[in-house]
Amino acid sequence: MLIWIAGLLRRRAGRIAATAAGIATAVALLATVGAFLGTAQASMTRRAVAPVEVDWQVVLAPGADVATALANTRAEPGVATALPVRYADVPALSSSEAGTVSTTGAAVVLGLPPDYRTTFPGQLRNLAGTSDGALLAQQTAANLRAVPGTVLTIERPGLAAAHVTVAGIVDLPHADTMLATGRPGATAPPDNVLLLPDHVFADLLDPLQNVRPDLLNTQLHVRTGRQLPLAPDAAYTASTGAARHLDAALAGAGRTTDNLGAALDAARSDAAYATALFLFLATPGAALAGLLTTTVVAVAAPRRRREQALLRTRGATTRQVLAITAMEAAISGVAGAVAGVGAAAALGAVMFGNTGGPAWFAAAATAGLAVAAAAVLVPAGRSLRTGGVATAARAGGDLPTSRPPLVLRLGLDLVALICAVLLLRISTAHGYQLVVAPEGAPRIAVDYWAFAGPALLWLGGALLVWRIIATTLRYGRRMLTTMLRPLAGPLAGTVAATLHRRRQPVATAATLIACAIAFAVSTAGFTATYRQQAEVDARLTNGADVTVTAPPGAADTGLAGPIVVTPGVRHVETIQHRFAYVGADLQDLYAVQPGTVTAGAHLADAWFTGGTAAELMRQLQHQPDGILVSAETVIDFQLQPGDRLTLRINDARTGTANPVVFRFLGVVNEFPTAPTDSFLVANADYVTAHAGTGPDTHLVDTGGADPATVAAALRQRLGAGPAITDITATRGTVGSSLTGVDLAGLTRIELGFALAIAVAAAGLVLAVDLAERRRIFTILSVLRARPRHLAGFVAAEACVVTVPALLLGAAAGAGLAHVLVTILNGVFDPPPDRLAFPWGYLGIVLFAILAAAATAVTALVLVTRRPALTLLRGE
């Protein structure tokens, strides 16, 4: 046995190397994409928790001892720090300027401890004035027309009004958790907020404890050590468990709201989509690599059967022959697994900064060994069971059966395609979600049946390609002769007869190449669409290449002029960002210039329902009182096109809320800088006429210039007043969906493997297939066939294998890309309105495939020009 294996390594090293290469490709792809999955999940966890400033908010029960609760909280494992924050609900705030009194509705006053801003630096952002003393929220300052130095009056029920002087204006980036959490009946942050130093709060509002204690409450804002698992699902479980442990420790003195867990809860579905990406993108590639290996091994099956027959004639038992074959499979499998794991570790380190892990390496290596066993050992065992020594010795491999395979005789290709279409229709139905993550639920649900549709599509498509090519070769011999005459000349009929006789192995080789091309095209289409939508997501979040937002309370700052003349600025689109009440619901209102906003803000048709972006903006221009409403608001208020909609908009001239009547024109699903749920888009001239001029947001198109550079120039020109953001920085912070994960490394890996598999399928399979029949070509050479005739013979067969595979594979790949994008619709935010294909990459794939085929043909022609006597003897 050892002598035989040594002979195989000396004389059949190429066969073993080809098998090991296919196994290495499958192992490397699985392990590398596994490394991406681990990196992506860790990245999603980091992105989810990064914006969270206050991990937990502990709402203390009435009468609870603050000092005791604070001590118990700080003693909890994993708690880094905790600070008490006082809250008071007051009826109103008011200010007086030049004899005009401005008054708000109900307001919330907070008492902050001295070290609050250093402990939670992201909770407040200075906009004007100083950071010491009484601070007024941006919207409240606009409502009261207040500036630093304005004296505010705080209404105190049962007590005389109190007075404070505004020291600064601040933005509250996390107002939804800072202000709404724990307040009875609160579903949204209050409109009016005043923040006081803790000692000032105690002087002015502690007296309410004697007359209206129900208006006062205390929270503990907690920051944890964030020693969390890498996966969002596990991190969510750890955070929520620790929060419940704190509730138990407080023994009824307080109730914990887990802001950190809420952020991780949203990331769990993204982690499930990352797993889905692994299954959709890596599995077909690994399966193709395994199929490539099996095909390469199958081409040499006749020679292997003759070798086994030789062993048996010399006295080897069936068990010994299987043992020798198992050793060959083990050598190929181990070599391929080691090479694949090494390549995966190197690629993971370079692309993701993560080599993967033992679990992924072990799983991928096991899959590689399984491929080796399936490719080498299983066929050998079947051959030993079904055939005798004489049959195996005569097996030449050139006489295929005349009947199609059983799966095609049963029509399983059509059955698989029909079932795939039905499953895909269910999977893409309105309202369908691949991943369902109920808020707060401990587990998420993934509809794994959705994977059956693409799997059946792959299977049915591959079988259909095999049927098409085999049927064409069987019944289209005359047509094939005519088509091959320019290449094969007088041998065209012989080539056609050979292809007709060998239609099944030719169809198998062409199908494998077509599947490899389909994998390359579908992967390229999906990843290009993913990148396109990630850019759209970043643009929607930031608004434009650079966005300049006027400071709060500034109605007309004249920023547009200085912005336009800044180097690198091609166009500036100005919109007003205001707030309006729809019933009792406060929503963002964007007042735009309909004539220019479509091009200026790069509006996409997919963001609107009921017409294209240009059509709806044209209607908004011709009907100034029209309004576009988000889908959520349409559902909440049961709106129909043409309905009257009365909004209450704060008038910048008087400070009062004016009712303004609009007519509902259509639905807007997305808009630059807008939130993802409820917002409105209206005509700026109409809004200004009824409610004055609001604060401006300027969307800057840099025309290809570096946005970060232009943003820096604008900061230098405009000073510290306006907020300036650029899309380059936004790309790194967008994390609302999986598009926030950087796919650049995975894209390079996937496209690289797709190219390698396509080239290997076109070159290796074709070369091995033709090389196994070198004896025929050598006989033609001995019979004085001219070199051009021989070259034409080989090239004609290569064209018959390659050209149909290119056409059918490209069509199948485009369809699969569409299916992947549709099923994984939840990955995209917003969903794409069209697919994107990297035509440069696809051109490289086409060139590489043709070059690989040409190289295989050229090498074979050169080899057969010098006949080998061993080939003529059939050895």
Dump pLDDT digits (tens) for 49-98. Answer: 888 888 898 989 888 888 999 999 999 888 999 999 999 888 888 888 76
Q: Quickly state the pLDDT bin for 867 (edges 50, 70, 90).
A: low
pLDDT at 856 over 60: yes
pLDDT at 3 over 80: no
Pairing label, strands 216-224, 162-171: unpaired
Report residue 560 as tokens. 């547009």
pLDDT at 736 over 80: no
Kindly calculate the radius of gyration of the chain based on its CA atoms and give it in whole angstroms: 35
The predicted-structure confidence for 360-374, as pLDDT tens digits, reads as follows: 788 888 888 888 888
The residue among 574 and 377 whose pLDDT is bigger is 574
Round to whole Å and give the CA distance between 323 and 788.
Answer: 46
Which pairs from 688-692 meet CB under 8 Å and 24+ separation? 688/576, 688/591, 690/649, 690/651, 690/658, 690/660, 691/578, 691/649, 691/650, 691/651, 691/652, 691/658, 691/660, 692/555, 692/651, 692/652, 692/653, 692/654
Query: What pLDDT was estimated at residue 628?
Result: 92
Collect all residues with Cβ–Cβ distance below 8 Å to 515 and sequence separation of at least 6: 288, 291, 458, 461, 462, 465, 761, 809, 812
Query: What pLDDT was estimated at residue 387?
Result: 54
Share of the chain above pLDDT 70, in %: 84
Query: What pLDDT was estimated at residue 125?
Result: 81
Query: What pLDDT was estimated at residue 807?
Result: 92
Helices (H), 428-502: 452-475, 477-488, 492-501
* Cα three-residue angle 257-258-261, rounded to 5 degrees: 155
pLDDT at 126 over 50: yes
Report residue 148 as tokens. 């630093």
Round to whole Å and give the CA distance between 200 and 216.
Answer: 15
Q: Quickly state the pLDDT bin for 623 (edges 50, 70, 90).
A: very high
Average pLDDT over residues 592-608: 86
Query: What pLDDT was estimated at residue 871?
Result: 47
* Ramachandran angles phi, psi of 394, nearest 5°: -85, -15
Q: Quickly state the pLDDT bin for 792 (edges 50, 70, 90).
A: confident
Across-strand partners of 696?
A: 576
* Rounded-to-10 torsion of CA 402, 404, 406, 411: -150
The predicted-structure confidence for 224-243, as pLDDT tens digits, reads as follows: 988 888 888 888 889 989 99
Looking at residue 822, its amino acid is T
pLDDT at 651 over 90: no
Helices (H), 278-317: 283-299, 301-313
Query: What pLDDT was estimated at residue 617?
Result: 92
3-class state of residue 173 by DSSP: coil
Q: Is the separation of the CB atoms in 644 and 661 below 8 Å? A: yes
pLDDT at 681 over 90: yes
The DSSP element (H or E) to which 855 belongs, if any, is helix 839-864
Round to whole Å and give the CA distance between 737 and 717.
Answer: 35
Query: What pLDDT was estimated at residue 397?
Result: 44
Nearest to 533 by CA among 833, 838, 837, 818: 833
Collect all residues with Cβ–Cβ distance below 8 Å to 127 and sequence separation of at least 6: 138, 168, 169, 170, 171, 551, 552
The predicted-structure confidence for 262-305, as pLDDT tens digits, reads as follows: 888 877 777 777 777 777 777 887 788 777 777 777 666 666 77
Query: Lowest mean pLDDT: which of 345-359, 410-424, 506-520?
Result: 345-359
Query: What pLDDT was estimated at residue 480?
Result: 86
Round to whole Å and give the CA distance between 82 and 71.
Answer: 9
Q: Is the separation of the CB atoms in 162 and 153 below 8 Å? A: yes
Round to whole Å and give the CA distance between 174 and 588.
Answer: 16
Q: Quickly state the pLDDT bin for 875 (edges 50, 70, 90).
A: very low
* Ramachandran angles phi, psi of 754, nearest 5°: -60, -45
Angle between helices 492-501 and 477-488 (to 10 degrees): 130
Nearest to 670 by CA among 778, 541, 840, 526: 541
Place of tokens 């598999």: 757
Place of tokens 């990955």: 827
pLDDT at 839 over 80: yes
pLDDT at 211 over 80: yes
* Cα three-residue angle 229-231-237, rounded to 5 degrees: 65
Round to whole Å and give the CA distance between 741 and 447.
Answer: 22
Round to whole Å and give the CA distance between 790 and 865.
Answer: 9
pLDDT at 698 over 70: yes
Burial classification of residue 833, based on how many CB atoms lie within 10 Å of its CB (0-12 exposed, 13-18 middle, 19 or more buried): exposed
The predicted-structure confidence for 770-787, as pLDDT tens digits, reads as follows: 555 565 666 666 666 666
Share of the chain above pLDDT 90, in %: 9
Round to whole Å and give the CA distance between 838 and 527.
Answer: 9
- Average pLDDT for the chain: 80
Collect all residues with Cβ–Cβ distance below 8 Å to 26 and sequence separation of at least 6: 285, 286, 287, 289, 290, 293, 336, 340, 364, 367, 368, 371
Angle between helices 503-542 and 452-475 (to 10 degrees): 140
The predicted-structure confidence for 386-409, as pLDDT tens digits, reads as follows: 655 555 455 444 445 567 777 888
Report residue 336 as tokens. 């391929």
Round to whole Å and give the CA distance between 370 and 290.
Answer: 9
Round to whole Å and give the CA distance between 274 and 230.
Answer: 14
Query: What pLDDT was estimated at residue 421?
Result: 87
Q: Quickly state the pLDDT bin for 737 (edges 50, 70, 90).
A: very low
Alpha carbons within 13 angstroms on the beta-carbon side of residue 785 total 25
Collect all residues with Cβ–Cβ distance below 8 Å to 875 and sequence separation of at least 6: none
Looking at residue 589, its amino acid is L
